[in-house]
A = this chain, B = another copy of it.
């Protein structure tokens, strides 16, 4: 096809549609999947923003382009994108490319439906229910409720909104103005979404009381107790504690049993942000880190992180069986949730959320789980713990000190060479240090050795 020839509309031409999609899929397999997960290729092809803009030719114009041009654009997009499935990508709490999950995601995209009614998502309404049931069973609940959310931050917000609604059902209609000042509690190591959520929900960030963490990053239950007393003394009403299983920076697991005791004594909603650590429940060896999670009222768990299900796969799980989710968020839109439907309208789960259209996030997890079984997923978790021990090298006397000083420089060098990607940040008195996230199920000891050797190589002149 000539480069300048405009593509006729593909609609109504199944042969052309199939040819285009097969060609694009070929590019995806070669460039994103094979090269994108090969240790012999770069993890990223760094370009300065201005140069990248030129390379991408982003402008949207009046005329359409030929199929050849479109294919070339697909190649360019993949080429300059970061390969998060690459074994040298340690940069975020997600990494790796599970082929079954990816298969589920491609099917999800091709079916393009919304999760809100049984009518248009019969398979996925039932599947979401089953996946949530399985996750709840791992938490230790034989009944309950739940929903997939667009990310753990929204899951955390839902928990806060549900807790305040349960205590003050009037606030849905009348708002916060007539309520006493509310207080929620979380440790200084919590995810920043707790602060963001408090602001967004109208509580204000002042309503978040920050509880001390020990040097390993775990919430100190005695300080929680103290903070609750202080809040009450100031006239605030404590209503929720958000504990964390797997903190963002240090990977710490808060002591849930002790925190649950405090919540029980004071009648507070216990939310566990297990976005990162929830998947550890699959490991018989390590699940003790979450002992007490069964006493929570709500749990946020993101299988797109440690299980590599693909962005986004974020479950909010509830112990509640009183339909709290629907009562709190529902508004009974008559155009979507008609009550005179010919099937059981309890299957229309869309009114449980504050979204309207909602993506299907269950299939990728379900299909991966069917392929791996509990056993396969458990092996991944155990392997991640084994690899994360980092084989002792981090104990060399000047490791922390050197990293602290040179982290931004090392980061720039690794990205511009494309050899690997790790995130860094300061933490308390530590200064900058690298947060090596070990989540990719394809990682081996050789990859971890590479990581340490490469840090040494990149920094040898510093």
Contact partner, A80, options B107, B123, B354, B375, Cβ 8 Å: B123
Copies in the complex: 2
Task: From A28, A34, A181, name the one whose CB has the most chain B CB atoms within 10 angstroms.
Answer: A28
Are A113 and B202 in contact (CB-based, < 8 A)? no
Task: Report Cα–Cα, A338/B146, bound state, in Å.
Answer: 34
Contact partner, A342, options B28, B205, B408, Cβ 8 Å: B408
Q: Which 3 A-B pairs have the closest CB atoms?
A: A202-B202, A175-B204, A150-B150
17 residue pairs bridging A and B, Cβ less than 8 Å apart? A9-B441, A49-B122, A49-B126, A56-B123, A60-B369, A62-B374, A97-B110, A119-B421, A151-B356, A151-B357, A152-B356, A153-B355, A161-B200, A177-B204, A334-B426, A338-B425, A342-B408
Q: Interface digits, A17-39 against B, CB 8 Å rule (1 contact, 0 not)?
A: 11011101100110011101110
Are A103 and B21 in contact (CB-based, < 8 A)? yes
Sort chain A's interface into a size bin.
Answer: 35 or more
Task: Report Cα–Cα, A34/B110, bound state, in Å.
Answer: 11
State the Cβ distance, A120 to closest chain B Cβ, in Å: 5
Task: Report Cα–Cα, A119/B191, bound state, in Å.
Answer: 20
Contact partner, A373, options B64, B124, B311, Cβ 8 Å: B64
Task: Report Cα–Cα, A85/B174, bound state, in Å.
Answer: 42
Are A81 and B111 in contact (CB-based, < 8 A)? yes
A262 at the interface (CB under 8 A from B): no
Task: Report Cα–Cα, A49/B118, bound state, in Å.
Answer: 9
Contact partner, A110, options B6, B36, B59, B196, Cβ 8 Å: B36
Find residues 30-89 in chain A having any chain B CB closer than 8 Å to their own CB.
Answer: 32-34, 36-38, 44, 46-49, 52-53, 56, 58-65, 69-70, 73-74, 77-78, 80-85
